[in-house]
Structure 1
Amino acid sequence: MKAIFACTLVLGLLFCAACERVVTPEEYFASAQRTAVKIEREANERIRREAAGETLEYTPEQLRVAEGDIEALAENLKHASDGGHTLATYLLASLQDNPMFSERTRLETCGLYQKAMDQGLLAAAVGYYHLCDKAYERFDLHNADHLKFLQSLEQLLSKPDAHVDDYPLQAKRSLCFLDERAPQTQQGVAAAMRARAVALMLSEEQYRAEANYILALTRVNASDRHDSQSILYLDSAEALGCQDYYGLSAMIRHEVKSGVK
């Protein structure tokens, strides 16, 4: 009798497990979106209060709730990403893309950008460049990983973005559409953060401009020089609205022109 009961119990547990509904990546992503809307609503309220001259300080309870919302957002994005949701992967990378985080987190974030890039999202390639492709900072422009990245970037530019309907998408940094040296306007901290976020909400065309500009800056020929291909990348970037805030376009054009003589 005990054996029969035990067998029935095991079969019952197996049946329950089999019948348990699996949450889809889209459902996880929808949950993340709801949390993001809540976070944005609270941010808007803080901006309103800041503009009214109120002091903005989190109470311990408010801080606990805010941290819980961020954790819930990250958790749902991760579940969606694990299920193959490209946009969730990119947004999770963007959420983790913070210079104050550890090297371990940076490497994890680079992996997320790489994953979304491999799934055809151009915005992820731009994010990867800023956080992960550091060869150009060492003037090591023939580094194998850097060259592999440039090849991936060129391939993404050669075809329509597989996720074009997901744009505009938030960038963390921009070479073309945000002048980091511009004087700050007189506004509160929360409002300044919002203004930066709005400026970095880029269209698919703007990401194409960024990608072309990155190629123009960091691709060199066998002689370690920019060449006519660099000019083509610059022309494409500028045709798509890229602003040459740092005068690098003029420098590259002069370098190429001087080399032709």
Structure 2
Amino acid sequence: MRDERYTWQQQIFSKDKGIKRPTNFIMLLMLCTVILLGAMATIKISKGQNTVLPYLNQYFDLKKSNTSADIEARKNTSAHSDALPKDSTNESNEEWKLLLVNRNNPVPAGYTVNLVSLSNGHAIDERVYPDLQHMMNDARAAGLSPYICASYRTQEDQIKLFDIDVNKYKAEGHSEEEARAKAANWVAVPGTSEHQLGLAVDIVSSKNQNLDKNQETTPEQIWLMENSYKYGFILRYPSNKSEITGIGYEPWHYRYVGKEAAEEITKRGVCLEEYLGRD
């Protein structure tokens, strides 16, 4: 009895007779074409949407997922989602260090921070604490007396601080609008202050706690301006960057950005906005 278990190639081709059953061959090609078109039709690629790649990512256990549901979930759960690079999906990327908050970029809605208390009653993001403590200890070992006079602030704290400056300018005869504009040059408008991130500290000399330009001449500030980058901090509001940062010169305000970024920012002589390429 003849063996009927031919492969589809054997049924179509023969060494002796060339192509066999041309009708079957044409039908097979048509069938393959239909299958291919059907598969292509299921792949929907549109702006901001890819319904195939996410499943491949999950299959190969990749860290990034681009499904619409995942993107929406990250927006709703991540306090940093609006300010981070597109590829950042979790804090293991350490992009939280470069979260930009200024007059054009308010604190993201729902932002939360895990705080650690400092010895003088202030508080800071717990991830920053080791480097901050190291910096303060080294400054003291150098015979200096640095003092943290401001750190994390709540929205309510920022409102109170801003209103104090507004009332001061109003007492000088300025209108409400003028007073608010002037206050904003020195105190961040509530919701746009880095202090609300828990990543910024105001450090002064314990012998001179005045928040004015003279602060830059204290030994503590001279040391901090020269060494803070080694611990991941930058002088956030330099004297020549006010037009970019929107805040006047503050030779006491230090912002944590991580050691790598701090070193580059300091060596290049740029502010955070310039480093990130954003305003």
Same fold (TM over 0.5): no
Shorter chain as denominator, the TM-score bin is under 0.3
Question: Which has the greater radius of gyration?
Answer: 2
Q: Which has the higher strand share?
A: 2
Q: Which has the higher helix share?
A: 1
TM-score, normalisation: structure 2: 0.25
TM-score, normalisation: structure 1: 0.26
